[in-house]
Amino acid sequence: MAQVKNGDTVKVHYTGKLTDGETFDSSVGREPLEFTVGAGQMIPGFDAALPGMSVGDKKTINIPASEGYGDINEQAIIDFPKENVPEDMKLEPGMSLTLSNQEGQPFPVVVKEIKDDVIILDANHFLAGKELVFDIELVEIA
């Protein structure tokens, strides 16, 4: 039976969870996820789990933050001047916003804290710093 190797295009069903069991993403009820193994399209820990699998194989993997979305980058936590926020905009901790960088490209942030003169924004990926658990089923090797 054929086994996955780097460079193969595969289709997988998956469920991604945090270590407390909370599901953050799943392909259940959707088309399987298709990608090329080893091409950098997936987080490193997910990509590394596929070689050697055969169609129909299922596995559960734990991915440390360093092989997932990375550790929390303190430089991605931004003090944003409150004076730059429109007066009619009501911000709350946990709220998602989109800012633009100097080149005009949008990037998502989350409001972490509101202080007297600044708003603390976090531009880290929401899964940064977290260990992830994936249930994977290999559906097809294309």
The pTM (predicted TM-score) of the whole model is: 0.83
Entry field: residues in the chain: 142
| 74-122 belongs to CATH 2.40.10.330 | yes
Distance CA 13, CA 41 (A): 16
The domain limits of the chain are 9-70+127-141, 74-122
DSSP 21: S
Report the half-sphere exposure of 104 (CA within 13 A, side-chain side). Answer: 0
Q: pLDDT digits over 43-92, tens only?
A: 999 999 999 999 999 999 999 999 999 999 999 999 999 998 888 999 99
Q: pLDDT digits over 105-142, tens only?
A: 999 999 999 999 999 999 999 999 999 999 999 999 98
Q: Do domains 9-70+127-141 and 74-122 have the same CATH topology?
A: no
Secondary structure of 22-64 in HEC code, one letter for each residue:
CEEEECCCCCCEEEECCCCCCCHHHHHHCCCCCCCCEEEEEEC
Q: Is the pLDDT of residue 100 over 90?
A: no
State the pLDDT confidence band at 101, using cuts at 50, 70 and 90: confident
Q: pLDDT digits over 11-45, tens only?
A: 999 999 999 999 999 999 999 999 999 999 999 99
Distance CA 37, CA 4 (A): 8
Question: In this structure, how many other beta carbons lie within 10 angstroms of the beta carbon of residue 97?
Answer: 15
Would you state the structure tokens that stand for residue 137, as one six-digit string?
Answer: 């089923």
Q: Residue 75: its pLDDT value, please?
A: 94
Q: Residue 87: its pLDDT value, please?
A: 85
CATH topology of domain 9-70+127-141: Chitinase A; domain 3 (3.10.50)
Question: In this structure, how many other beta carbons lie within 10 angstroms of the beta carbon of residue 109?
Answer: 20
